[in-house]
């Protein structure tokens, strides 16, 4: 597979629209290139600000200024403060251009460097010469080595760099022959007057080993401008940086610098000629790659762990959006864990009140602009001019920035947390409240759940958030419901049994829910005696529905978190469920989806009621038999909760996992009684939301409890046929009560450029966000139609998207039978395949237990992007060498492709999908290793062996490695399963079925999948 130079992407192939045609389009992007520190945006904002006021000729000026070498010229550029103020973009925090003449532009070229290497020799370049509609030779190549002087980055290659820049305008005062090496036909066309002498140069240019890619400059000019040609901006350059010089490895024929990556598929469609080497297929062995260019373009944006857009280039028209066949939207994880040092700053506007836009209620953020000497601010989302409250006033400096910027995190950080005053409360902030609903029927007793749960809760009592306000309560149930009076004056809890299931009532008005710190001794006594209380229980029934209602009656005054430990299919009272089981005959028919939806509307109604009263439900299901997770999980789905499923729970095996996950659930930082809303600029609207929550109004997500392990996805659409703005802003606001009892608003703000070019949208795509959206959509679809339809919808969208992309370039390029795709989406087909094979969507009846499938579906609907990607394409790491070497470093771990081929019989591998580990022992693994790790059990059946630390260095090392893996992903506890090569069915069940790239059970291998997609793309292409 050849990765062709992504850098080139830019110019050549776009439809040749004149950059001039839309002068406005410009600049936001400029800044994008990697700027130093916070200055980056400056360029952008300045330039944009400049332009409105400049004469047409002056459009060029940004360029000029951009070139570092120009020396005096930059001064042209300097925007007067008034101008700045007009620009919505401007960020007060940024120094004005004039202050930093060396600004972002220069940087841009510096960054570009890596890409240069990729610029292909002209002959090969289809774009410039053959395919591109316009001749390139107009472009003048400038020999100026200007940037070198000022830009340190540049220097290394400065000599060789003949700087090419597209010269967009002949009018440009500089008139320097810039030249875009063949890459900029459009620009070139316009530069007609410019002497074309440069062509040669540009040839030279190419020849030079590190030729400079002109792109960055160009980009500012056309950048993001509506007319397609310009679209190449800074961002691209980033692209290149990310995947620099993959060209180096290309065969001669592919040494083209192209705007896309491609896979050479030698075969004619239909045949299975091994024209494609499976080793060359792209694999995310480095984990999730986020588009960095975007973050660097807008350094004021919130971090991508909070908000990820499916593409960071928003289409400017509905027709363009309709050609983007992938989901367009965002994935939000409002409370994502921030590494130390990057915590979200807390802002308290004690006296002022929170500063918000009067019209659209946007919170003040780094993208607002202050005008009128600091007395007014313009909302970046609805452009309304608001008064600055008296207490919040600060004068502006000469550059138009507020002088108190360094003391105002909300004006420099994309993520902040405001302390909300009483207007944001409908009632006093609730205390953290944990209520436990524990099944004590015989199967729970036998599996040992009760004991583990009681111990874990007890061990977490000291670390529950919100001391000393935390409230706690318990109900147990089998065929009756047992309430516990935990009044602090008692020494032992009092049990009250209610057996009237038809008309459930609460036997005590209060004291069923008590303050933990006051009743601590009673709670301790209860938890100590709980396991023994029911150890002889032989009740097989479960009055789950009535117990749920009872819990609801107790909790609905305050809200809180309800943890349900459920072992037996609900059999009594309301909400009893049939053993509808996994009906083989239903698969493949129209009734299939009914198995995955709640059977009894009771559960949906209860979920709605729970949400209304701010109760979040977490389900822990343990049964070894069918428990109808589809119905019961609904409770978690609509209350912002989570489903933990431990099929066939045995305390001896699964104890640690339950302990860890329950402890995390109880002690992680939780936001209570929250609502989440995402606002965006005019012309764009969020239309649908996907995840575990309930909508309280068209765009308000009700989240009784939120924590760092929950993410929400949303899709957006364009309301207007044409967007006239250059940037769209998004603001996520989560209003919640913290465990400490403070009402807070967490605000994440992000900006994204509006583009007119489809290629740009693809270049700025974020595979992680797209896959997260695609997965959620497919899982939702599996609730209303057949699994097969849900899977096909994923495939269809991938095919359509890649086909559209191919059409974009196929005309100018002889792409032949190659499969082409943008660098940013190189993993899309693989993750699509992984979704196809994920537990929630794979196969049919036999491929996954119904409960397991539903539980996986609920989990995937809530997972943040990174964890989802890890689940879809887990890590497979060979560790035997590392164990043998005494001083092997962690960095030597190498992830290998998820295929049976990569499993070497002499090796020891760890498979880690974030939810469990599978340790695979090769058949020819040195017996010493196995003996050291497993003790004398190493020859027996591994299903009966568990991994624990033995007294030798190797075993300790393995445990250390596993511990390190676990620490990277603390949301779940990865239980270790041991598997020996060839030990069926264990090996197949744990590992082989999860090797995404292999052909398993009638599902495609990666290679076949690519070929299949490729064929579909070529059909009526």
Residue nearer to other proteins on the CB measure, 464 or 562: 562
Of 219-227, 350-358, 604-612, 813-821, which part binds other proteins (CB under 8 A)?
Answer: 604-612
Distance CA(332)–CA(310), nearest Å, equals: 11
Tell me if 356 contacts other proteins by CB under 8 A.
Answer: no
Residues 213 and 181: beta-carbon distance below 8 Å: yes
- Residue 422 makes CB contacts below 8 A (sequence gap 6+) with none
Residue nearer to other proteins on the CB measure, 635 or 752: 635
Of 1021, 812, 797, nearest to 10 (Cα)? 812
- Residue 887 makes CB contacts below 8 A (sequence gap 6+) with none
Of 184-192, 393-401, 603-611, 712-720, which part binds other proteins (CB under 8 A)?
Answer: 603-611
Residue nearer to other proteins on the CB measure, 583 or 599: 599
Residue nearer to other proteins on the CB measure, 56 or 601: 601
Residue 252: burial class (beta carbons within 10 Å; 0-12, 13-18, 19+): exposed
Residue 927 tokens, joined:
């017996």
Residue nearer to other proteins on the CB measure, 520 or 696: 696
Residues 5 and 118: beta-carbon distance below 8 Å: yes
Residue 398 tokens, joined:
């000469």
To other proteins, the closest distance from the beta carbon of 861 in angstroms equals 14
| Per-residue binder mask for other proteins (CB under 8 A), 15-54, x = binder | ----------------------------------------
Residue nearer to other proteins on the CB measure, 608 or 653: 608
Neighbours of 123 (CB within 10 A): 13
To other proteins, the closest distance from the beta carbon of 638 in angstroms equals 5
To other proteins, the closest distance from the beta carbon of 699 in angstroms equals 9
Of 301-309, 693-701, 707-715, 959-967, which part binds other proteins (CB under 8 A)?
Answer: 693-701
Residue 995 tokens, joined:
């090797």
∠ CA 776-780-781, rounded to 5°: 115
Residue nearer to other proteins on the CB measure, 637 or 763: 637
To other proteins, the closest distance from the beta carbon of 714 in angstroms equals 12
Residue nearer to other proteins on the CB measure, 605 or 793: 605
Q: How far apart, in Å, are the Cα atoms of 746 and each of 312, 354, 361, 671?
A: 22, 12, 14, 10
Q: Which runs of E-coded beta strand occur in 215-311?
A: 261-263, 307-309
Among 458, 580, 604, 931, binds other proteins (CB under 8 A): 604
**205, HSE (Cβ side, Cα atoms, 13 Å):** 33
Residues in 837-896 that interact with other proteins by CB under 8 A: none
To other proteins, the closest distance from the beta carbon of 634 in angstroms equals 8
Residues in 605-634 that interact with other proteins by CB under 8 A: 605, 607-608, 612, 634
- Residue 567 makes CB contacts below 8 A (sequence gap 6+) with 439, 441, 443, 444, 447, 449, 542, 621, 622, 623, 627
Q: Residue 438: what are its φ and ψ, rounded to 5°? A: -115, 125
Residue nearer to other proteins on the CB measure, 356 or 664: 356
Among 422, 491, 697, 891, binds other proteins (CB under 8 A): 697
Residue 746 tokens, joined:
């967490």
Distance CA(780)–CA(671), nearest Å, equals: 26
Residue nearer to other proteins on the CB measure, 521 or 784: 784
To other proteins, the closest distance from the beta carbon of 696 in angstroms equals 6
| Per-residue binder mask for other proteins (CB under 8 A), 628-667, x = binder | ------x---x-----------------------------
Of 518-526, 598-606, 876-884, 1007-1015, which part binds other proteins (CB under 8 A)?
Answer: 598-606
Residue nearer to other proteins on the CB measure, 783 or 945: 783
Residue nearer to other proteins on the CB measure, 397 or 789: 789
To other proteins, the closest distance from the beta carbon of 67 in angstroms equals 52
To other proteins, the closest distance from the beta carbon of 579 in angstroms equals 20
Residue nearer to other proteins on the CB measure, 384 or 608: 608
Distance CA(514)–CA(520), nearest Å, equals: 9
Tell me if 695 contacts other proteins by CB under 8 A.
Answer: yes
Q: How close are the terminal C-alpha atoms of the chain, in Å?
A: 21
Among 694, 745, 992, 1000, binds other proteins (CB under 8 A): 694
Total of residues contacting other proteins (CB under 8 A):
14
Distance CA(236)–CA(635), nearest Å, equals: 45
To other proteins, the closest distance from the beta carbon of 857 in angstroms equals 16
Question: Phi-psi category of 263—alpha, beta or left, where left has phi over 0 and alpha has psi -120 to 50?
Answer: beta
Distance CA(294)–CA(768), nearest Å, equals: 14
To other proteins, the closest distance from the beta carbon of 694 in angstroms equals 6
Residue 645 tokens, joined:
């499923």
Residue nearer to other proteins on the CB measure, 396 or 678: 678
Provide the 8-state DSSP code for 365: -
To other proteins, the closest distance from the beta carbon of 583 in angstroms equals 18
To other proteins, the closest distance from the beta carbon of 987 in angstroms equals 41
Alpha-carbon Rg for the chain, nearest whole angstrom, is: 31
Residue nearer to other proteins on the CB measure, 635 or 718: 635
Of 474-482, 695-703, 764-772, 906-914, which part binds other proteins (CB under 8 A)?
Answer: 695-703
To other proteins, the closest distance from the beta carbon of 836 in angstroms equals 25
Residues 125 and 402: beta-carbon distance below 8 Å: no
Of 235-243, 323-331, 338-346, 694-702, which part binds other proteins (CB under 8 A)?
Answer: 694-702
To other proteins, the closest distance from the beta carbon of 609 in angstroms equals 8
Cis ω on the peptide bond leading into residue 985 (within 30° of 0)?
A: yes
To other proteins, the closest distance from the beta carbon of 778 in angstroms equals 16
Distance CA(782)–CA(776), nearest Å, equals: 10
Distance CA(618)–CA(817), nearest Å, equals: 51
What are the residue ranges of helices labelled H in 54-102?
61-66, 74-77, 81-86
Residues in 672-691 that interact with other proteins by CB under 8 A: 688
Provide the 8-state DSSP code for 126: I
To other proteins, the closest distance from the beta carbon of 700 in angstroms equals 8
Residue nearer to other proteins on the CB measure, 43 or 559: 559
Tell me if 601 contacts other proteins by CB under 8 A.
Answer: yes
Task: Return the SS3 of 806.
Answer: helix
189 sits in which H/E element: helix 185-190
To other proteins, the closest distance from the beta carbon of 608 in angstroms equals 5
Residue nearer to other proteins on the CB measure, 520 or 685: 685
Residues 43 and 32: beta-carbon distance below 8 Å: no
Of 515, 599, 498, 593, nearest to 551 (Cα)? 498
Of 260-268, 426-434, 602-610, 843-851, which part binds other proteins (CB under 8 A)?
Answer: 602-610
Q: What is the 3-state secondary structure (H, E, C) of 874-895?
A: CEEEECHHHHHCCCCCHHHCCE
| Per-residue binder mask for other proteins (CB under 8 A), 698-737, x = binder | x---------------------------------------
Tell me if 556 contacts other proteins by CB under 8 A.
Answer: no
Cis ω on the peptide bond leading into residue 468 (within 30° of 0)?
A: yes
Residue 112: burial class (beta carbons within 10 Å; 0-12, 13-18, 19+): buried
Neighbours of 532 (CB within 10 A): 11
Residue nearer to other proteins on the CB measure, 450 or 607: 607
To other proteins, the closest distance from the beta carbon of 1008 in angstroms equals 36
**Which residues contact other proteins (rule: CB under 8 A)?**
601, 604-605, 607-608, 612, 634, 638, 688, 694-698
């Amino acid at each position: 597979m050849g990765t062709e130079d992504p850098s080139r992407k830019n110019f050549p192939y776009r439809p040749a629209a004149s950059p001039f045609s839309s002068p406005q389009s410009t600049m936001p992007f400029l800044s994008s290139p990697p700027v130093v520190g916070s200055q980056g945006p400056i360029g952008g904002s300045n330039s944009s600000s400049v332009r409105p006021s400049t004469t047409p000729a002056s459009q060029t000026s940004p360029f000029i200024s951009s070139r570092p070498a120009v020396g005096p010229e930059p001064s042209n550029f300097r925007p007067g403060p008034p101008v700045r103020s007009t620009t919505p973009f401007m960020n007060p925090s940024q120094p004005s251009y004039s202050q930093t003449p060396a600004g972002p532009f220069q940087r841009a070229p510096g960054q570009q460097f890596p890409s240069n290497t990729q610029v292909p020799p002209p002959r090969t370049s289809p774009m410039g010469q053959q395919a591109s509609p316009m001749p390139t030779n107009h472009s003048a190549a400038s020999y100026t080595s200007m940037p070198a002087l000022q830009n340190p980055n540049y220097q290394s290659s400065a000599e060789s760099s003949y700087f090419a820049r597209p010269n967009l305008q002949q009018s440009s005062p500089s008139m320097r022959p810039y030249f875009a090496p063949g890459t900029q036909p459009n620009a070139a066309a316009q530069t007609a007057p410019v002497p074309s002498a440069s062509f040669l140069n540009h040839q030279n240019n190419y020849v030079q080993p590190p030729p400079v890619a002109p792109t960055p400059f160009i980009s500012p000019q056309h950048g993001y401008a509506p007319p397609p040609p310009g679209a190449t901006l800074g961002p691209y350059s980033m692209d290149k940086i990310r995947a620099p010089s993959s060209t180096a490895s290309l065969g001669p024929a592919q040494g083209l610098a192209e705007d896309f990556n491609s896979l050479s598929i030698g075969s004619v469609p239909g045949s299975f000629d091994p024209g494609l080497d499976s080793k060359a297929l792209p694999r995310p062995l480095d984990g999730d790659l986020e588009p960095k260019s975007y973050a660097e373009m807008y350094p004021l944006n919130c971090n991508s762990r909070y908000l990820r857009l499916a593409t960071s280039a928003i289409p400017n028209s509905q027709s363009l959006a309709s050609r983007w066949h992938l989901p367009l939207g965002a994935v939000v994880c409002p409370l994502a864990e921030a590494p130390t040092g990057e915590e979200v700053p807390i802002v308290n506007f004690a006296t002022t009140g929170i500063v918000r836009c009067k019209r659209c209620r946007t919170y003040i953020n780094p993208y607002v602009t202050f005008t009128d000497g600091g007395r007014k601010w313009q909302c970046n989302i609805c452009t309304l001019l608001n008064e600055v409250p008296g207490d919040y006033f600060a004068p502006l400096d000469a550059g138009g920035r507020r002088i108190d910027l360094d003391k105002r995190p909300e004006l420099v950080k994309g993520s902040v947390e405001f302390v909300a005053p009483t207007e944001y409360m409908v009632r006093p902030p609730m205390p953290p409240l944990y209520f436990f609903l524990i099944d004590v029927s015989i199967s729970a007793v036998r599996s040992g759940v009760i004991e583990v749960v009681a111990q874990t809760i007890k061990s977490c009592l000291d670390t529950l958030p919100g001391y000393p306000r935390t409230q706690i309560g318990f109900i147990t149930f089998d065929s009756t419901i047992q309430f516990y009076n935990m009044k602090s004056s008692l020494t032992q809890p009092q049990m009250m049994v209610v057996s009237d299931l038809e008309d459930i009532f609460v036997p005590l008005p209060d004291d069923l829910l008590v303050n933990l710190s006051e009743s601590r001794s009673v709670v301790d006594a209860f938890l100590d005696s709980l396991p023994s209380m029911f150890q002889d229980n032989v009740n097989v029934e479960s009055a789950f529905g009535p117990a749920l209602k009872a819990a609801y009656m107790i909790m609905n005054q305050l809200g809180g978190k309800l943890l349900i430990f459920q072992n037996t299919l609900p059999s009594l009272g309301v909400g009893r469920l049939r053993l509808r089981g996994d009906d083989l005959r239903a698969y493949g028919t129209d009734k299939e989806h009914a198995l995955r939806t709640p059977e009894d509307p009771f559960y949906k109604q209860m979920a709605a009621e729970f949400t209304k009263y701010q109760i979040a439900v977490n389900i822990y299901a343990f049964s070894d038999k069918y428990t109808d997770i589809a119905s019961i999980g609904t409770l978690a789905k609509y209350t912002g909760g989570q489903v933990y499923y431990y099929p066939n729970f045995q305390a001896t095996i699964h104890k640690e996992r339950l302990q860890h996950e329950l402890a995390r659930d109880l002690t992680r930082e939780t936001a209570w009684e929250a609502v989440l809303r995402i606002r965006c600029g005019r012309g764009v609207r969020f239309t649908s939301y996907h995840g575990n929550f309930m909508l309280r109004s068209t765009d308000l997500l009700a989240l009784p409890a939120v924590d760092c392990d929950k993410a929400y996805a949303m899709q957006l659409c364009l309301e207007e046929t044409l967007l006239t703005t250059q940037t769209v802003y998004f603001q996520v606001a989560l209003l919640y009560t913290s465990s400490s009892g403070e009402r807070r608003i967490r605000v994440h703000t992000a900006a994204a450029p509006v583009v007119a070019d489809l290629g740009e949208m693809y270049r700025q795509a974020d595979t992680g966000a797209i896959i997260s959206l695609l997965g959620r959509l497919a899982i939702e679809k599996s609730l209303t139609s057949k699994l097969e339809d849900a899977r096909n919808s994923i495939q269809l969208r991938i095919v359509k998207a890649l086909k559209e992309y191919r059409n974009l370039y196929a005309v100018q390029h002889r792409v032949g039978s190659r499969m082409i795709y943008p660098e940013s989406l190189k993993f899309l087909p693989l993750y699509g395949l992984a979704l196809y094979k994920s537990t929630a969507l794979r196969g049919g009846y036999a491929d996954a237990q119904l409960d397991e499938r539903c539980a996986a579906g609920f989990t995937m609907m809530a997972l943040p992007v990174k964890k989802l990607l890890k689940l879809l394409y887990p890590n497979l790491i060979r560790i035997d060498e590392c164990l043998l070497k005494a001083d092997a470093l962690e960095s030597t771990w190498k992830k290998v492709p998820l295929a049976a081929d990569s499993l070497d019989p002499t090796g020891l591998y760890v498979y880690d999908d974030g939810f469990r580990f599978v340790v695979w022992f090769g058949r020819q693994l040195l017996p010493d290793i196995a003996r050291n790790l497993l003790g004398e059990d190493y020859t027996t059946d591994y299903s009966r062996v568990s991994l624990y630390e033995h007294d030798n260095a190797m075993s300790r090392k393995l445990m250390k490695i596993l511990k390190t893996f676990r620490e990277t992903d603390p949301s779940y506890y990865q239980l270790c399963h041991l598997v020996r090569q060839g030990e069926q069915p264990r090996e197949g069940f744990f590992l082989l079925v999860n090797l995404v790239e292999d052909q398993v059970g009638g599902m495609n291998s990666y290679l076949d999948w690519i070929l299949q997609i490729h064929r579909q793309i070529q059909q009526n292409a």
